[in-house]
Amino acid sequence: MARQNALAKQKRAGAQDEQQQADAQPERQRRPRPADGPATAAELDRLIHERIRLAIVSALAVNESLTFNDLKQLLNTTDGNLSVHARKLEEAQYVTCNKYFDGRTPKTEYRLTAAGRRALERYLGHMESVIRAARGG
């Protein structure tokens, strides 16, 4: 049992290392595709492609702003998980974070930036192209 727990910890640590390395890659290291050719999955914006970050950006695209607690409830995630992913999006300047007090209660509010909206539109365009290519169209 102890060996299984140790192996599980190693596997989780390896997956986290891979995700951190992928996140550390600059967004613009992708090869440009020919203007007339279909997009490939490798060209997807890896920053947005991660499930929680895509959910954050998508939720903010249809809402003017959302609080941390709104996002946490909507995405059914933990404080730590949401905080890490939101910070990555903030560092990329895809979202802005505004902290304030509502009475004595601290609030954190997120908004999608123009750069974030453009990145989401590019991402969705790439996904549509990949889907069309996969369907043979």
Helices of type H across 68-110:
68-75, 79-91
The reported pLDDT for the residue numbered 41 is: 59
Q: Whole-prediction pTM value?
A: 0.69
Contact 64, 111 (CB under 8 A): yes
* Domain limits, the chain: 43-137
Dihedral, 120, 124, 127, 128 alpha carbons, nearest 10: -170
pLDDT in tens, the chain (137 residues): 555 555 555 655 554 555 555 555 444 444 444 444 555 656 778 899 999 999 999 999 999 999 999 999 999 999 999 999 999 999 999 999 999 999 999 999 999 999 999 999 999 999 999 899 999 86
Q: Count CB neighbours of 60 within 10 A.
A: 24
Both tokens of 89, joined, read 């999006």
Contact 90, 97 (CB under 8 A): yes
Nearest residue to 85 via CA among 60, 115, 102, 121: 60
The reported pLDDT for the residue numbered 31 is: 41
43-137 CATH fold: Arc Repressor Mutant, subunit A (1.10.10)
